[in-house]
Structure 1
Amino acid sequence: MDHISWIKERPVAHRGLHDLNRTRWENTLSAFAAAIEKNYAIECDVHLSGDGVPVVIHDNDLKRLTGVDGYVWQRSAAEIKALRIGGTEDRVPTLAETLRLVDGRVPLVIELKGVPGHDAGIVAKVASELRSYRGKVAIMSFDHWLLRDFPKEAPGVPAGLTAWGDMPHHFEAHFSMLGSGYSFVSYDVTALPNPFVTFVRERLQMPVISWTVRDRAAVQRTFAHADQMTFEGFDPDGGLTS
């Protein structure tokens, strides 16, 4: 697991170091620049545009973030890049633009967002853009159909399972994916501790990060049962007031 041990070193800024979308919005170059300035790792989300370009945005529906009706897969990368986020000067960045900004200065964890029927080739296209990237980078996904493509389409890129749930059928699904070759887990902090996370950490020596930490109780839960946190809404180095 040495190729992914770095994921434990620094807190991971959830969608960058945004301010809960007051003035600096999630998954923007401004949020990523703020994380770099504070030396935090960055988590970001990637969808495929209608013309097959990886773009950095969390929602498939454009409305919440851009105010525009429609879906990411219905628009070209050029059209998406023209959309302002939250009425600010920031626009939806491509993955290529994000990689150029980060440029290896902090670790980057990329969550691939699957959209059935509209995500063909997303793993291969992200992997292609990472081929010449020299920084610490990993990919992860909730979507098992994408995770199964990771070993074939993104060989050599550290891969993770993003997961949630605290019921036996959730754990069965997560265990069933162990053969897909992932090397770390990102788990919902509200479901810690649990048998799956305990197994992968203690038996497989696999790093586990939590999502999404927003208060002191979640920080404490993370470091009691996982190795690092994905956080938002506060500055971990500045302390917590709640």
Structure 2
Amino acid sequence: MTVKLAFLTAQPVAHRGYHDMNHQIWENTLSAFSRAIEAGFAIECDVQLAADSVPVVFHDDDMARLTGIKGDVREKTSAELGLLSVGQTKDRIPTLKQLLKLCAGKVPLVIELKGREGEGVDDGFAEAVLEDLEGYEGPVALMSFDHHLLKDLKKAGSPWPLGLTAEGDKPEEFFRHDEAMQIGIDFISYHYGHLPNSFIDAQRKLSIPVITWTVRDENARAITYKYADQMTFEGFDPRASDPRESQSANA
């Protein structure tokens, strides 16, 4: 693993920020990100492209689960989205720029681009994210399930590490993952439930860092630390009982 990628595995990564499973502090909000910064966790977040081509931090394609209002998030401008309450809290849907201003390099950011199917639908998405990140001082990594977005980021000359978000335990899925690696992928975010497997084993032998998603219990954490390098977690405080610390104490 190169020095520039060491931040990916240095500490647990808070999935959509350090929220409380959407009770009072909701996912992908500035409150969840502030809590992660205070705790010293890296932040994972999701980015969509608003109707005015501004990257906003939001996971779902439809707004209903998080705002109570039906409709495609991409059909609203960033200003319109910024007026919508997330989970009926004081938090509104933030832009990527707002997250960058809040984080200011205090903890690493792992930003997942949420693409769409259809020719030309994601045109300009990768470039808009890179434009927002221009001049940002702090550790950042970009990742996506969508190979076309990874290609766009690479073509646009991304100075940030690129990651493949993936899952699967079948040979045909590994073949597609191998195709993505040819883009020039720096790290992988993989579903812990599909570990171990031959694809991930091969990539780790090549010193490609692997983080897992989404760890919610001790079993998932144990799988992570056996077959990967770090976890993306939610729903608990990973500082409470890190199995690696007890192993070190007993060594």
Q: TM-score range by the shorter chain?
A: over 0.9
CA contact (8 A) 1:45 1:58 kept: yes
Instruction: Give the Å deviation of 1:182.
Output: 1.1
In the alignment, what sits opposite 1:199?
Answer: 202
CA contact (8 A) 1:124 1:154 kept: no
- Partner secondary structure for residue 87 of structure 1: coil
In the alignment, what sits opposite 1:220?
Answer: 222
Task: Work out the CA distance in 1 between the residues paired with 2:58 and 2:171.
Answer: 32
Q: Given residue 195 of structure 1, which amino acid in structure 2 is its aligned partner? A: S
Task: Work out the CA distance in 2 between the residues paired with 1:104 and 1:7.
Answer: 14
Instruction: Give the fraction of aligned pairs with identical amino acids, expressed as a percent.
Output: 51
Instruction: Give structure 2 stretches of 5+ with no counterpart.
Output: 243-251
Single out whichever of 115-124 and 171-180 deviates more from structure 2. 115-124
CA contact (8 A) 1:24 1:30 kept: yes
Task: Work out the CA distance in 1 between the residues paired with 2:160 and 2:111.
Answer: 11
CA contact (8 A) 1:213 1:219 kept: yes
- 1:162-181 equivalences under 5 Å are 162-181=165-184
In the alignment, what sits opposite 1:52?
Answer: 53
* 2:65 corresponds to 1:64: yes
CA RMSD of aligned residues (A): 1.0
In the alignment, what sits opposite 1:19?
Answer: 20
TM norm structure 2: 0.93
In the alignment, what sits opposite 2:248?
Answer: none
In the alignment, what sits opposite 1:116?
Answer: 117
- Partner secondary structure for residue 138 of structure 1: strand
Instruction: Give the Å deviation of 1:36.
Output: 0.4
Q: Given residue 116 of structure 1, which amino acid in structure 2 is its aligned partner? A: E
Instruction: Give the Å deviation of 1:239.
Output: 2.9
Instruction: Give the Å deviation of 1:78.
Output: 0.5
Q: Given residue 200 of structure 1, which amino acid in structure 2 is its aligned partner? A: Q
Q: Given residue 183 of structure 2, which amino acid in structure 1 is its aligned partner? A: S
Instruction: Give the Å deviation of 1:231.
Output: 0.1
Post-superposition CA distance 1:56-79 (Å, at most 9, x none): 000010000001111011111100
Dislocated runs of 4+, deviation >2 Å: 116-119
TM norm structure 1: 0.97
CA contact (8 A) 1:47 1:54 kept: yes
- Partner secondary structure for residue 92 of structure 2: coil
Post-superposition CA distance 1:220-239 (Å, at most 9, x none): 00000000000000000023
* 2:10 corresponds to 1:9: yes
Instruction: Give the Å deviation of 1:154.
Output: 4.1
* 2:235 corresponds to 1:233: yes
Task: Work out the CA distance in 2 between the residues paired with 1:154 and 1:187.
Answer: 24
- Partner secondary structure for residue 186 of structure 1: strand
- 1:97-176 equivalences under 5 Å are 97-117=98-118, 118-176=121-179
* 2:18 corresponds to 1:30: no
- Partner secondary structure for residue 147 of structure 1: helix
- Partner secondary structure for residue 148 of structure 1: helix
Instruction: Give the Å deviation of 1:120.
Output: 1.7
Task: Work out the CA distance in 1 between the residues paired with 2:6 and 2:201.
Answer: 17
Q: Given residue 204 of structure 2, which amino acid in structure 1 is its aligned partner? A: R
Task: Work out the CA distance in 2 between the residues paired with 1:124 and 1:116.
Answer: 18
Instruction: Give structure 1 stretches of 5+ with no counterpart.
Output: none
